């Protein structure tokens, strides 16, 4: 009876010690130089190759503790329960509720994803739609549902951002003081002030300041544009006769 030269259990034990190995490490551990022999033994175990580092690292499924996305890493080498990078990306997109932007997939997978995304899209295995200036990658089967969900999420995030800027102005005392302050300004001063506050907030600032002050969005926009023109002098802002009263000698 022929003896088993390379013991699979032995190989499993080495994997549990090292966690991950390259093919060269596996061959060395088995005492063979033959690539096919190493792969034959690997196939007897539930193994995975890394989706990072050109797939040159191997581990066992029983060693990997996959997260909710089916991902696991060890010493910055990344593995997936779904195998290759392209299969993993397709799985993530298909199982997502709201699709993925490339930047989100890159953050999640810790690796560049543009090339596999393009390959999946060109072979019609995933779908994409542009939204907020970026491509959103979606499942072929349920892209409409995912796209709608993403639009809703973007709207919610926008509202939360608006609420963030409104935070602190919900106090009646603060609102009363702001109203009092604005009442001390003439029409042009008021317009310039709210225009300035809008500029500080950036995009969407006109709407946010309008919500806070009750001043029309067009008025705020006009004040902002006037400020950006740099064609304003104190003399042109003040009412006639405004400013410190003249000193009179008795």
In this model, does residue 245 exceed pLDDT 50? no
In this model, does residue 250 exceed pLDDT 90? no
DSSP-assigned states of every residue in 16-75 = HHHS-EEHHHHHHHHT---HHHHHHHHHTS-EEE-SSGGG-EEEETTT----TTSEEEET
100-106 average pLDDT score? 96
The pTM (predicted TM-score) of the whole model is 0.63
CATH number of 85-163: 1.10.10
Which residues, 6+ apart, have CB-to-CB distance to 99 below 8 Å? 93, 136, 137, 138, 139, 143, 146, 147, 150
In this model, does residue 4 exceed pLDDT 70? no
User: pLDDT confidence of 94, banded at 50, 70, 90?
Assistant: very high
Q: Which of 244, 157, 165, 144 is nearest to 208 (CA)?
A: 165
pLDDT value at residue 241: 46
Pairwise pLDDT comparison (175 vs 13), residue with the higher score: 13
CB 171 within 8 A of CB 177: no
pLDDT value at residue 166: 62
The Cα–Cα gap between 72 and 74 comes to 7
224-228 average pLDDT score? 90
Q: What confidence tens digit (pLDDT) does each residue in 37-72 have? A: 888 888 888 899 999 999 999 999 999 999 999 999
User: pLDDT confidence of 210, banded at 50, 70, 90?
Assistant: confident
> Would you list the domain boundaries of the chain?
14-80, 85-163, 172-237
């Amino acid at each position: 009876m022929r003896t088993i030269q390379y013991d699979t259990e032995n190989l499993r034990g080495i994997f549990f010690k090292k966690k991950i190995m390259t093919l060269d490490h596996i061959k060395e551990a088995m005492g063979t130089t033959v690539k096919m022999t190493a792969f034959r033994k690997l196939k007897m175990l539930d193994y995975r190759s890394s989706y990072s580092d050109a797939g040159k690292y191997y581990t066992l499924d029983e060693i990997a503790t996959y997260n909710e996305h089916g991902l696991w890493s060890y010493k910055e080498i990344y593995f997936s329960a779904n195998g290759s990078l392209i299969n993993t990306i397709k799985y993530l997109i298909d199982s997502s509720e709201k699709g993925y932007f490339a930047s989100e997939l890159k953050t999640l997978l810790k690796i560049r994803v543009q090339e596999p995304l393009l390959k999946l899209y060109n072979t019609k295995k995933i779908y994409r739609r542009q939204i907020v200036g970026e491509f959103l990658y979606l499942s072929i089967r349920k892209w409409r549902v995912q796209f709608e969900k993403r639009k809703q999420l973007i709207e919610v995030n926008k509202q939360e951002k608006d609420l963030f800027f409104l935070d602190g102005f919900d106090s009646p005392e603060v609102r009363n003081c702001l109203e009092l302050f604005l009442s001390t300004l003439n029409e042009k001063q008021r317009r310039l002030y709210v225009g300035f506050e809008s500029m500080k907030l950036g995009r969407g600032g006109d709407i946010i300041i309008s919500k806070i002050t009750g001043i029309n969005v067009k008025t705020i926009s006009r004040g902002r544009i006037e400020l950006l023109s740099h064609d304003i002098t104190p003399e042109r802002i003040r009412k006639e006769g405004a400013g410190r009263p003249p000193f009179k000698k008795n």
